[in-house]
Amino acid sequence: MAEPTPVQIFHTEEKRMQYRSGSFFLRVGLLVLFLVVPFLFPSFKTVDLAMQIIMFATLVASFDILLGYTGILSFGHGMFFGIGAYCVAFLIGKYGMPSYFNLALGFITAAVVAYALALLISFLSLRVKAIFFAMITLAIAELAIVLATKLSGFSGGEDGISIFMPGIFAVSFTLGDLMGLEITGRVVTYYFILLFCLGLFLAMLRFTHSPLGRVLQAIRDNTQRAEALGYKTFLFQAISITFGCVVASIVGGLYAMWVAYVNPESCLGVLTIMLDVLLMVIIGGMGTLYGGIVGAAFLKISQTFLPDLQNLAKGLLPHAEFLHNILERWLLLFGILFILVVVFFPKGVIGSVRDYMAGRNRVRG
């Protein structure tokens, strides 16, 4: 047998360490934590928070495939999320009965619509410049909001659509007690979405660690060189964009299942969903996938506890009007944080930690 190449040595080393490293235990620990949340903290607020973190972590990871792995910024990711949510809502709410078949059909429709639209946008914009993608997706995302609001006969308008879940996902469904927890439809939905998101996350990990993912990183780092090596950059970019967008639409469908309600602002909004996703991916770290979990956890937890913080500030310092104003405008703080992270920690939390660990290992020898 021939001498192993450096890349092969690297891979065998990586495989050997796969199940022993600290980060592996961290990941498993995190998964176990999410699995036991409904048992440990059965209150609605905590379960909802955990669910939001899981869904947004997956959404942010799919956005990261575009931003961190392909180097393309899309402002339409929230729109794809919304398309998924609306497709599911249409099929089990407005235009169909709540049944398992319609639910599955909703997800399939969401994926197909997202696939077609993402392909169309990539063909339009990548032909010219990658930055056109940001402008065009912003324009189309705004159009989607306007259409969803104006065509109220078709989409339910600003009132949105309320949906009821079929069978075991329904709120009224119950399976009896298990270790002190009543297994309701909500709990079943929680675990269903958790597993679904886990599957999506693993699929994305597989995608980015495949040879295709490596080519994408090469294109991101040096487009001309990748082209010179004979890769059709356009094709690879289009594949990655459509993949990320389809995942986003499926997460959108899951979101609709969980909140059982869709409206233009909460599902399609550039300044709601898209802003959160951008903040999360920047804080967590671009090009890491796991960054999404950190970013989503940070943002969702701070958003949940901000009202408490405001009340606390009002209680402790009742006369500091300025402080109240600033806390009232928490988005300002997030905006400043966003700029600071982009300038000083462009790799985000995960990337910076990884750099730090790598540096420490090198010092140790």
Partner 1 sequence: MAEAMFRRWGRELTIAGAIVLFLLPLIGIPGKTYLTLTIAGLAMGMLVFLVASGVSIIFGLMDVLNFAHGALFAWGAYVGFTVFKHLMKWVEADSVLQNLAVFFLAIVAAMVVVALLGIVLERVIVRRVYGSHLFQILITFGATIVLVELIRVFWGPNDEVMTVPLTFYGNWDIFDIIVDRYRVICIVIGLIVYGVIQLILKKTKLGMIVRAGVEDREMVQAMGHNIFLLFTGVFAVGAGLAALGGLAMSIFSLQVYPDMGGTYLLFAFIVVIIGGLGSVTGSLVGALIVGLAYNYVAYLVPWAAAGVNIMIMIIILLIRPTGLFPAGK
Chain residues in the site for partner 1 (CB under 8 A): 67, 71, 73, 124-125, 127-128, 130-132, 134-136, 138-140, 142-143, 146-147, 150-151, 270-271, 275, 278, 282, 325-326, 329, 331-332, 334-336, 338-339, 342-343, 346
Q: How far is the CB of 79 from partner 1 (least distance, A)?
A: 13
Q: CB 1: neighbour CB atoms within 10 A?
A: 3
Q: What single-letter DSSP state applies at residue 41?
A: -
Alpha carbons 71 and 9: distance in angstroms, whole number: 29
- Of the pair 141, 193, the CB lying nearest partner 1 is at 141
Which stretches within 71-129 are classed as H helix?
Answer: 77-89, 100-126
The residue written with tokens 């599955």 in the block is 104
Q: How far is the CB of 293 from partner 1 (least distance, A)?
A: 20
- Of the pair 102, 237, the CB lying nearest partner 1 is at 237
- DSSP, residue by residue, 225-281: HHHHTT--HHHHHHHHHHHHHHHHHHHHHHHHHHH-EE-HHHHH-IIIIIHHHHHHH
7 CA to centre of own chain: 31
248 and 259 Cβ atoms separated by less than 8 Å: no
- Of the pair 97, 331, the CB lying nearest partner 1 is at 331
- The Cα diameter of the chain in Å comes to 78
Q: How far is the CB of 258 from partner 1 (least distance, A)?
A: 27
- Of the pair 9, 124, the CB lying nearest partner 1 is at 124
The residue written with tokens 């899309």 in the block is 74
- Of the pair 146, 202, the CB lying nearest partner 1 is at 146
**CA atoms within 13 A of residue 309's CA, in its CB half-sphere:** 14
340-350 burial, b for 16+ CB within 10 Å, e for fewer?
A: ebeeeeebbbb
169 and 185 Cβ atoms separated by less than 8 Å: yes
Q: How far is the CB of 141 from partner 1 (least distance, A)?
A: 10
- Of the pair 197, 270, the CB lying nearest partner 1 is at 270
Q: How far is the CB of 332 from partner 1 (least distance, A)?
A: 4
Q: How far is the CB of 175 from partner 1 (least distance, A)?
A: 45
- Of the pair 185, 284, the CB lying nearest partner 1 is at 284
Q: How far is the CB of 287 from partner 1 (least distance, A)?
A: 11
Alpha carbons 69 and 75: distance in angstroms, whole number: 16
Q: How far is the CB of 339 from partner 1 (least distance, A)?
A: 4
Is 171 in a helix, a strand, or coil? coil
Q: Which pair of tokens denotes residue 71?
A: 């180097």
